[in-house]
Amino acid sequence: MKIVAQIKEPVYQEMEKFESKFRDSMTSKVALLNRITHYIVNRKGKQMRPMFVFLTAKLLNNGEVNERTYRGASVIELIHTATLVHDDVVDESNKRRGFFSINALWKNKIAVLVGDYLLSKGLLLSIDNGDFDLLKIISVAVREMSEGELLQIEKARRLDITEEVYYEIIRQKTATLIAACCSLGACSVKPDSTDVETFRKFGELCGMAFQIKDDLFDYGGQKIGKPTGIDIKEQKMTLPLIYALNHCAKKEKSWAINSIKNHNKDKKRVKQVIAFVKEKGGLDYAVGQMLQYRDEALELLSTYPESDYKAALELMVNYVVDRKK
């Protein structure tokens, strides 16, 4: 059985029920909107985020979930989908998971409005049901994701990202959404408990490990979703590169920065930068940091009693760092 299927198994029924609830949460009286949301739903990814919500809720509530858990999962998926639609506009990307993006098919104006619509649907789903505690978790995540994106854009212009700033960017951009999934799951069944914060931290650690793994793919030869060296071409400062720049001679550093700033479209030069990062131990260091985040996440789980849900979450944490794409 594939790893993702193994992770999904303890929440399989909830995920099936969630699919129809999620589809319903998107409906509109506007035919164009329904056509676009139908296109989105039929091209969904692995749906790791709702899985985090259900696994956390079931772990804390003797294998039971409630309507709030379903709403929490729907809200997070609506918000996540909205951010992806907006991201594709910002990045001028024409593909998403191998399919045409919304902006490629319906143009930027419609894509931005669809993203806004999904965002509002997510917020209203919480408000209409009085889930103000869940709404707060989501709203904080949306704010942090926006801040993280803008912080990265601001720093990328100057290529002066420190390791500390890098962690802050990935915490806000990536980890905060996974943290929200886990705290939503906990809050849906055990509001006002210490578990809400414990699982927020657990999700954040998973998210940090996930993003470092993503950044490592840029230096690997494996067949993955994005071509090797794309971060360098886009002048994105990731952990392997930051480490290499901080552990090299002054002359090497100015060569590397010049390469990224002025020769990032030159394939040969990009390959040389990748070789430079490997030689300076940037990859080994990033792998070490990623595994540290994984271990901290597993340590938080270790205090909870054994169950299928705990085992699936442990599998999820390991999958984050072992995945091939």
pLDDT tens for 52-69 read 999 999 999 989 999 999
The lowest-confidence range among 70-84, 88-102, 277-291 is 88-102
Residue of higher predicted confidence among 214 and 202: 202
Query: What residue type is 55 in one-letter code?
Result: L
Instruction: Find out whether 234 and 214 touch, Cβ atoms under 8 Å.
Output: no
CATH number for 163: 1.10.600.10
Please give the structure tokens belonging to residue 324.
């091939």
Q: What is the pLDDT of residues 118-148, one digit of tens each?
A: 899 889 999 999 999 999 999 999 999 989 9
Query: What residue type is 205 in one-letter code?
Result: L
The mean pLDDT value of the chain amounts to 87
For the chain, give percent helix, strand, coil, nearest 5.
Answer: 75, 0, 25
Res 1 pLDDT > 70: no
pLDDT of residue 97: 65
Among 57-61, 149-153, 265-269, top mean pLDDT goes to 57-61
Long-range CB contacts for residues 107-116, cutoff 8 Å, separation at least 24: 110/32, 110/36, 111/85, 111/86, 112/85, 112/86, 114/33, 114/36, 114/37, 114/85, 115/82, 115/83, 115/85, 115/86, 115/89, 116/82
- The boundaries of the domain holding residue 205 are 3-322
Burial degree of 127 (CB within 10 A; 0-12, 13-18, 19+): exposed
Residue 158 binned pLDDT confidence (cut-offs 50, 70, 90): confident
109 membership: H or E segment, kind and range: helix 102-128
Our count of domains for the chain comes to 1
